[in-house]
Amino acid sequence: MIRMTEKFYHLSKKEIIFLVAVILIYSVVGYWNLGSRVEPQTYYDMEEGTPAAEFELQKQPISIALYPTVNDSSKYVGIQILCSDDGVNWKQAFDTRDDDTDYTAAMIWYHYPLNTNESTRYIKVKKLDTANRLVLSEVAFYDENGNRLAATPLNEGSARLLDEPETVRTTSDRLNSAYFDESYFPASALEMQDGLSVAEMDHPPVGRLIIGLGMDLFGRTPFGFRFMQVLFGIAMLPLLYFFGKALFKSPLWSGIATLLLAFDFLHYTQTRIGTLDAFLVFFILAMYAFLYFFHISTSKPARYVFLLLSGIFTGLAIGTKWSGCYAALGLAVLYFYWFIRDMVKGDKGVRRQRLGESFFCCLAFIVIPVTIYTLSYIPYAGTIPDKGFFEVFFGHQQQMFGYHTGASTHYHHPYSSKWYTWLLALKPVFYYYQKAPETIYLYATGNPMVWGIGLFGTAFALVHGIWKRHSAGIVIGVGYFSQMIPWLFITRDTFLYHYFPMIPFLMLGVAYLFKYMGCTPQAKPWKKAYIGLFMAFTVFSFICAFPFIYGSPMKWDTVLFMRQLFMVFAGVMGGALLLLMGYDVYHLRRKKKERARLDENNGDML
């Protein structure tokens, strides 16, 4: 039987009700209007030597709607459209190189004008001569009144572009199309599923394989390639609760940390977009949680199980993004800290057990992660049949290293930001903008009040944990700073979403601070009032921010006002925290002086 010094896995009825309510409510809000479930599923791959798509029409086409399935080797999509009166003599009707759109990318609906004349009856859609391929899922043609025209495919491939007419959209939005980096990750997941050459592979494959599971379940649609991210975002909540309960030995503080994560702006936005970060954050949180469960367990079998699980999630984290290595370094610091402490202070039996576990640790944190990382390349290697597995594997490591250290990541993206701006979410990442029919802004940001107090809380946890020898505080501090410190020295373009893996530790830092501040009888009533007000501001801020972290109509002036309001909340609550802690310290020192005076008087009497 698995036994632990802290029965964190035992839940009272109130705890069960709390967790079920949080999970259900967040699931509804998380999956609500996530994306379309009806998009093209078939496609035509126009590689070198493959015929272009040709169509015959009975009337002049004025525009074309089309849906690129995946990108070409440039990581974008290059399209050339030709028109003809007789099907023999062709002239250019459209070229993406001449279009004023920033770029054309995969899994987005485009509606392009065509330079045709009244006698145009034939249309040819082809890849650019400089591109290695053009992969399209569906096309549709329209006349000057916006009416859809009947088209006849002139070859087998063209027929695949007219077989799902009910899916055609004349405008793209965040519900029916990819936005921001979604043009890369779901597309490469599809490529690995179908054995197509992968256009973009700047991270290891694990995250893309998980995205592929969502598309297997719900189709190659926005809902399908965002489904797993929301699921992992939901799963973070109970995981953080159990982790927090093990750390704090109290459902109150673990519940506060869980609610803070559920109402975090970045957590909501980043787990609703088809990228890799939701998986990375869950795996990092899991590897720390299971290592701590290992630390507090008194059952030998349980210790080995938790060590194994921590190693598995370490492999999955690194296999999703290399930044998982930063978290793994912190994990190593914790393991060796506990190992050395037990070897120095433990009895003979404890030392013998720790030595045995150290050999298993090599399996859990070296063999298993390397195995997971390597096996995840099997689908990717299958897309390059002319190369051997290990040639593909090692070649990709070189390619990724070159990408992350090369000029391609030093292009000064307008939404990039320095690490110090992350601390108070000073520079958001704009993910989506819609001008008409209603103005919509969707961007990734954070709550500066929660993040600012959280930063103070994690620093407090680390210092207090070392001073008091509390493993909980050390775990929180190491979990945060082991991931944060490497970003101080990275010169490539960085973005606010790189801060996402640290967010759960910020929430734990807030809870740790709340637990240990205001301990004097005089400060306790103020402490309760402060925590209540803090949580109320957190919920209120989430409601106010919801339009621009979800993507619903809101005026830009209102967005700016909300951001200023959140900074005011941060300033007010930060100042109130300092006053409360100062008030607490004042009474602690006063009590200490009274004790000293009493001891002195007792000494005089003797």
Which residues is 95 bridged to in the sheet?
Answer: 80
User: Do the domain assignments include residue 304?
Assistant: yes
User: Do the domain assignments include residue 524?
Assistant: yes
User: Do the domain assignments include residue 286?
Assistant: yes
CA gyration radius, the chain:
28
User: Do the domain assignments include residue 55?
Assistant: yes
Rounded to an integer, what distance in angstroms lies between the CA atom of residue 34 and that of residue 16?
Answer: 27
Do 160 and 244 share a domain, yes or no?
no
Integer angstrom CA distances of residue 556 from 275, 547, 553, 570 = 26, 11, 10, 21
Do 506 and 369 share a domain, yes or no?
yes
Rounded to an integer, what distance in angstroms lies between the CA atom of residue 28 and that of residue 223?
Answer: 14
pLDDT at residue 603 in the model:
60
Instruction: Choose among 119, 118, 161: nearest CA to 140.
Output: 161
Do 420 and 564 share a domain, yes or no?
yes
* Tens-digit pLDDT profile for residues 282-333: 999 999 999 999 999 989 999 999 999 999 999 999 999 999 999 999 999 9
The CATH number that applies at residue 79 is 2.60.120
How many structural domains does the chain have?
2
User: Do the domain assignments include residue 599?
Assistant: no
Rounded to an integer, what distance in angstroms lies between the CA atom of residue 50 and that of residue 157?
Answer: 9
Instruction: Choose among 451, 443, 425, 448: nearest CA to 549.
Output: 443
pLDDT at residue 1 in the model:
36
Instruction: Choose among 148, 177, 152: nearest CA to 162.
Output: 152
User: Do the domain assignments include residue 198?
Assistant: no
Q: Is 76 helix (H, G, I), strand (E, B) or coil?
A: coil
Going by the DSSP 8-state scheme, the letter that residue 147 receives in this structure is P
CB 213 within 8 A of CB 228: yes
Looking at 128, 151, 173, the residue that finishes a domain is: 173
Integer angstrom CA distances of residue 469 from 445, 466, 535 = 35, 5, 29
Do 137 and 21 share a domain, yes or no?
no
User: Do the domain assignments include residue 184?
Assistant: no
Query: What do you get for the CA distance between the two ends of the chain, in Å?
Result: 57
Going by the DSSP 8-state scheme, the letter that residue 502 receives in this structure is G
**Model pTM score:** 0.94
Pairing of β 44-47 and β 440-444:
unpaired
CB 392 within 8 A of CB 399: no
pLDDT at residue 491 in the model:
87
Do 266 and 160 share a domain, yes or no?
no
CB 79 within 8 A of CB 134: yes
Which residues is 124 bridged to in the sheet?
Answer: 54, 82
pLDDT at residue 106 in the model:
94
Do 213 and 168 share a domain, yes or no?
no
Residue 376 tokens read as: 């995840």
Looking at 173, 191, 213, the residue that finishes a domain is: 173
Residue 131: CA count within 13 A, CB half-sphere: 25
Do 238 and 343 share a domain, yes or no?
yes
- SS3 labels along 193-252: HHCCCCCCCCCCCHHHHHHHHHHHHHCCCHHHHHHHHHHHHHHHHHHHHHHHHHHHCCHH
Q: Which domain holds residue 578?
A: 13-35+204-585
Q: Quote the Cα angle for 284-286-287, to 5°.
A: 65
Do 476 and 397 share a domain, yes or no?
yes
Q: Is 577 helix (H, G, I), strand (E, B) or coil?
A: helix
Low-confidence ranges of the chain (pLDDT < 70): 1-8, 102, 407-411, 599-606
Do 329 and 374 share a domain, yes or no?
yes
Which residues is 559 bridged to in the sheet?
Answer: none
Do 270 and 312 share a domain, yes or no?
yes
User: Do the domain assignments include residue 193?
Assistant: no
Rounded to an integer, what distance in angstroms lies between the CA atom of residue 269 and that of residue 80?
Answer: 35
* Tens-digit pLDDT profile for residues 207-260: 999 999 999 999 999 999 999 999 999 999 999 999 999 999 999 999 999 999
Rounded to an integer, what distance in angstroms lies between the CA atom of residue 209 and that of residue 224?
Answer: 13
Size of the chain, expressed as the number of residues it contains:
606
Do 28 and 109 share a domain, yes or no?
no
Do 359 and 491 share a domain, yes or no?
yes
Element (DSSP H or E) covering residue 161: none
